Chain A
Amino acid sequence: NAGVTQTPKFRVLKTGQSMTLLCAQDMNHEYMYWYRQDPGMGLRLIHYSVGEGTTAKGEVPDGYNVSRLKKQNFLLGLESAAPSQTSVYFCATRGPYEQYFGPGTRLTVT
């Protein structure tokens, strides 16, 4: 039982490049989330999904897109990376009582 996994763990992009972050869960949870964490700030919600095939915007959605084609996977895409998107990205799922976070992806955009 791996819980919530994220790939890749680290990535460096140049401005304008694109990439996709993958989140996978094996807990059969309906709700999945993408957050970003920046120094001196609390985690902020980018996008979330309440089930397969559904997505919705969170607090800071601009510059990101998401897809939930399969229940166990939640993808976060950056179409044209900007230095302001340098951050640590966390995926999470919601179970009956709490949220479970992945280990994070550290993204640097130069």
Chain B
Amino acid sequence: KNQVEQSPQSLIILEGKNCTLQCNYTVSPFSNLRWYKQDTGRGPVSLTIMTFSENTKSNGRYTATLDADTKQSSLHITASQLSDSASYICVVSYSNSGYALNFGKGTSLLVTP
């Protein structure tokens, strides 16, 4: 059972527009939440990582938010660019775990001209 659910599954937006991707998780106990960007044919690359005490973190045009009470996170992309076309993966880490990362299935984003 996948304990990390992402929505939407896919999204198409026009270049220059903003968008928000959602991640809900049931992982417990919670250690941290990460957002990764995966370009087609490449490995995932980290965008942000947030611990329990953080509720927002930015990386350029990417802003991630975390509500640990409701177990929800979002990734907001501002002024989208064609290069933002990729899969965005939400990953939740267990506490007391040396290895376990629970991966969402990802949201596939296509930015069109």
A contact residues vs B (CB 8 Å cutoff): 4, 31, 33, 40-45, 48, 50, 56, 58, 90, 92, 94, 97-104
Knowing A104-B41, A104-B42 touch, does A42 contact B4 (C-beta < 8 A)?
Answer: yes
Contacting residues, chain B, for A100 (C-beta < 8 A)? 46
B contact residues vs A (CB 8 Å cutoff): 2, 4, 34, 41-46, 49, 89, 98-106
Contacting residues, chain B, for A45 (C-beta < 8 A)? 99-101
Knowing A41-B105, A42-B89, A42-B104 touch, does A99 contact B46 (C-beta < 8 A)?
Answer: yes
Q: Chain A interface secondary structure, helix, strand, loop or mixed? A: strand
Contacting residues, chain B, for A41 (C-beta < 8 A)? 105
Contacting residues, chain A, for B106 (C-beta < 8 A)? 42
Cβ of A101 and Cβ of B101 under 8 Å apart?
A: no
Cβ of B43 and Cβ of A50 under 8 Å apart?
A: no
Knowing A40-B105, A42-B104 touch, does A31 contact B2 (C-beta < 8 A)?
Answer: no
* Total of A-B residue pairs, C-beta within 8 Å: 48
Which residue of the partner chain, among A31, A40, A42, A50, contacts B103 with CB atoms under 8 Å? Answer: A42
Knowing A40-B105, A42-B89 touch, does A102 contact B99 (C-beta < 8 A)?
Answer: no
Contacting residues, chain B, for A104 (C-beta < 8 A)? 41-43
B6: nearest residue on chain A (CB-CB)?
Answer: A42
Cβ of B98 and Cβ of A50 under 8 Å apart?
A: yes
Contacting residues, chain B, for A94 (C-beta < 8 A)? 99
Which residue of the partner chain, among B42, B46, B100, contacts A98 with CB atoms under 8 Å? Answer: B46
Contacting residues, chain B, for A97 (C-beta < 8 A)? 49
Most buried by A among B34, B43, B101, B106: B43
